[in-house]
């Protein structure tokens, strides 16, 4: 692991780091905020997954999480959204919703993406192991959250690993890639046309199939221009009601899809996570 930068902020240290990933076969970059703490103390960890076109820099610079994390004693980890570098394939047309910046937190099985696009393994296995080894992290107390494509990632990862994550939440998540253009394009390209293989990457399908977590918190802006065509939170509401999966879905009047929205409700989500990791 290499240190790219560190800065003091809100009674803690904000760092940006790189390392050679065995999952993606590329150099990966991520950011970590560590609050000041007593020597030898281990802190709970929140993993934050970003959305389409983003890197870890978007939430690091605009998420406004550090003051709350310092007060709550939370380490905040933000990885990149896809592998990058020479030889990493991209969307052939240069579109924003596939390829670089759009890894969708899956393990690709379709050429030419299989070699590098293994973001599921990176987030579920490799990055947590690195955080546990290099930072004062209590890896028995971890949680996960995300925005848009990252909300999809957070929900599906938590539902597939209910014993690992103490809490999960999302801002404007893609709740059902099986039923939206973003998901159809990404999952076809990364794992093929057989939609039965997509269900492991669809939060609604996972819940329908019996996956459960103690609670889900979702905030969704009513003025989000992707609300009806891509995000479709009503799908999540319906499957949770039918299955008995606890869900708190808050429609936030007038808010859009941007970090103005995310930063407004970031503290609420971090408090949600802190409570569940302390219990």
Indicate the burial class of 278 (C-beta count within 10 angstroms; 0-12, 13-18, 19 or more): exposed
Whether 116 is catalytic is no
Q: Say which of 116, 224, 269, 273 is annotated catalytic.
A: 224
Please check whether residue 146 is in contact with residue 174, taking contact to mean a CB–CB distance below 8 angstroms: no
Whether 148 is catalytic is yes
Q: Say which of 116, 147, 152, 257 is annotated catalytic.
A: 257
Give the whole-angstrom CA distance, residue 198 versus residue 67: 38
Whether 224 is catalytic is yes
Distance set, CA 176 to CA 24, 58, 76, 201, 216 (Å): 25, 24, 26, 8, 15
Q: Say which of 23, 148, 169, 176 is annotated catalytic.
A: 148
Residue ranges of the alpha helices (H) in 54-197? 56-62, 66-72, 119-121, 127-134, 149-160, 181-191
Give the whole-angstrom CA distance, residue 5 versus residue 83: 20
Q: At residue 261, what are phi and psi to the nearest 5 degrees? A: -70, -50
Give the whole-angstrom CA distance, residue 155 versus residue 91: 25
Measured at the CA of 59, the angle between CA 74 and CA 236, to 5 degrees, comes to 85
Catalytic residues: 148, 224, 257
């Amino acid at each position: 692991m290499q240190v790219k930068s560190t800065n003091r902020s809100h009674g803690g240290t904000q760092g940006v780091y790189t390392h050679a990933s065995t999952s993606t076969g590329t150099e990966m970059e991520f950011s970590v905020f560590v609050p000041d703490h007593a020597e030898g103390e281990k802190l709970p960890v929140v993993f934050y997954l970003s959305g389409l076109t983003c890197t870890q820099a978007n939430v690091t610079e605009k998420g406004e999480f550090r003051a709350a994390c310092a007060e709550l004693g939370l380490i905040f980890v933000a990885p990149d959204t896809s592998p990058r570098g020479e030889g990493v394939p991209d969307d052939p047309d240069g579109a924003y919703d596939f390829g670089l910046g759009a890894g969708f937190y899956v393990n690709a099985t379709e050429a030419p993406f299989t070699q590098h696009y293994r973001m599921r393994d990176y987030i579920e296995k490799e990055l947590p192991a690195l955080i546990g080894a290099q930072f004062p992290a209590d890896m028995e107390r971890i949680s996960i959250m995300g925005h848009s494509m990252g909300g999809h990632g957070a929900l599906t990862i938590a539902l597939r690993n209910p014993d690992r994550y103490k809490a999960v939440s999302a801002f404007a998540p893609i709740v059902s890639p099986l039923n939206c253009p973003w998901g159809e394009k990404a999952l076809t390209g990364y794992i093929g046309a057989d939609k039965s293989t997509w269900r492991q990457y669809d939060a609604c399908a996972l819940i329908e199939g019996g996956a459960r977590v103690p609670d889900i918190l979702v905030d969704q802006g009513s003025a989000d221009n992707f609300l009806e065509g891509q995000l479709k939170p009503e799908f999540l509401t319906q499957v949770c009601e039918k299955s008995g999966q606890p869900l708190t879905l808050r429609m936030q009047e007038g808010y859009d899809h941007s970090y103005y929205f995310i930063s407004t409700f970031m503290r609420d989500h971090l408090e949600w996570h802190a409570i569940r990791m302390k219990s």
